[in-house]
Every structure is written in structure tokens, then in C-alpha cells.
Chain A
Amino acid sequence: NAGVTQTPKFQVLKTGQSMTLQCAQDMNHNSMYWYRQDPGMGLRLIYYSASEGTTDKGEVPNGYNVSRLNKREFSLRLESAAPSQTSVYFCASLLDRGAQTKNTEAFFGQGTRLTVV
């Protein structure tokens, strides 16, 4: 099925371990995003990429790095995981809207539940 594919679905890390969350979309979208969701705090933007090869910090970038090597894939890396990074992570993609585009719907992956112990 077309859409946003995010892996893994679940992960448990020890403090200090590193890992990469993978995200791929097959809708030819230019913009991709990484969010984390914590109870009562909605979705907070970690990093985003407006196009292939570009990335920018969002609201909560500390402790994370990202990579947009091609149009399809946008990965999120935790170099040294901390308990404060326990969260649910969502990747999303969105087609850049020109004047003629009516819908700005962002498509979300199914989420990664990360626990850092």
C-alpha cells in the first residue's frame, strides 16, 4: 500500500545506546518530518526536510540527528539515547503545496514506540 513506512514499530534501548529510525514514503513528496508524541503534548517537531538534501531543526532537536539522502527516505538517529527520549515517534510526509493544490494533508507512518531504560 502506498504511504509512509516507518520501522521499527517498537524498540527498547539502554541509556547510551544508539539507534536509527527509518522512514520511507512512496508518494513523491518533497517534505518529510519527524515528530515525537508525549502525553498531553501533542506532536512536537524534531526535524524536518523540505527537500532532498536539506534538513532543519524543529522544536525539540536536541539529542537527535537526521539524514535525507534521497527523496524517499528520512532517517532519525539517536546517538546516545536518554530516558527523556522515551516517546512515540512519527514520521510524516507532505507534498509541497502550490497555489493550485487544495489539500495539505500530511501522511503519517504508524509510529515507533521507543523506551529508553
Chain B
Amino acid sequence: EDKVVQSPLSLVVHEGDTVTLNCSYEVTNFRSLLWYKQEKKAPTFLFMLTSSGIEKKSGRLSSILDKKELFSILNITATQTGDSAIYLCAVEPQGAGNMLTFGGGTRLMVKP
């Protein structure tokens, strides 16, 4: 059974801080790992990672995958209150259906 574990469960920081969110996984026939940001409603896509060691970057957010150690991290630098959200990690196996298995999420709160 595929499994995704995120840590920490929740995090409170102040604006300007840098945070690192963790995602470890066990999946049969790994295809990709995805990060989503969920504010009040539906999750929105951040990154898809398929190869080890290649950093994906979007503004202050970046993410990297380690397929040997089976984890990924999501970094947010110079955090802003608008970064407050639940961050979800998901893994996609090879095969039909493209089923995603999600982790429990990390709830990030950024205080002014």
C-alpha cells in the first residue's frame, strides 16, 4: 500500500522566516511526487517532481526530490502571511488511473 507522511503536522512562523516542509513516501513503481497548496478551498498545484536532485523553483518556493531516500522537501523563503495554508504532498505511481496518494498535510501559519 502506498504511503505518504508529511512533517511537521503544523508550523507557526513569523513573516520573513524560512520554512522547510518534509514529505516521505513509500510507493510501488514511483512516477512523480506533487506538492499542492490548500487555502480555504480546493488544493492548487505547486510542483511536480520526477527526478532526484533537480530543484523546482517558483518565486520564493522551491522543492527537491530524493528518490534514493524517498523524500521531498518544500522550502519557502521570506515567508509572508499569504503563505499560510495547508501544504499537501502526493505521490503518483506508474500505471492506469494516475491515482494520487496524499499525505496528511502540513498546516503553516505565518504571523505578521
Given contact pairs A42-B88, A104-B32, A56 touches B48 in the complex (Cβ within 8 A): no
Q: Once the chains are docked, how many angstroms separate the CA of A44 from the CA of B45? A: 17
Flag the segment in B13-21, B64-72, B91-99 that touches A.
B91-99
Contacting pair B104 A42 (CB below 8 A): yes
Binding site for B on A (CB under 8 A): 31, 33, 35, 40-45, 48, 50, 56, 58-59, 90, 94, 96-97, 103-106, 108-111
Binding site for A on B (CB under 8 A): 4, 6, 9, 31-32, 34, 41-45, 48, 88, 90, 92, 96-105
Contacting pair B104 A103 (CB below 8 A): no
Contacting pair B104 A41 (CB below 8 A): yes
The A-B contact count (CB < 8 A) is 62
Minimal Cβ-Cβ distance residue in B for A51: B96
Complex A-B: 30 CB contacts under 8 Å: A31-B97, A33-B100, A40-B9, A41-B104, A42-B6, A42-B88, A43-B90, A43-B102, A45-B100, A48-B97, A48-B99, A50-B97, A56-B97, A58-B99, A90-B42, A94-B98, A96-B96, A96-B98, A97-B98, A103-B48, A104-B34, A104-B92, A105-B48, A106-B34, A106-B98, A106-B100, A108-B42, A109-B42, A110-B41, A111-B41
Instruction: Output the least CB separation between B94 and chain A (Å).
Output: 10
- Where chain A touches its partner, the secondary structure class is loop
Sample of 13 further A-B pairs with CB below 8 A, known A42-B4, A56-B97: A33-B99, A41-B104, A43-B100, A45-B101, A50-B97, A90-B42, A94-B98, A96-B96, A104-B34, A106-B45, A106-B100, A108-B44, A110-B42
Contacting pair A42 B98 (CB below 8 A): no
Contacting pair A40 B105 (CB below 8 A): yes
Contacting pair A104 B98 (CB below 8 A): yes
Contacting pair A105 B45 (CB below 8 A): yes
Most chain A CB atoms below 10 A, which of B31, B42, B43, B44: B42
Q: Once the chains are docked, how many angstroms separate the CA of A96 from the CA of B42? A: 21
Q: Once the chains are docked, how many angstroms separate the CA of A43 from the CA of B34? A: 13
Question: Contacts of B104 on A, CB cut-off 8 Å?
Answer: 40-42
Most chain B CB atoms below 10 A, which of A33, A43, A50, A90: A43
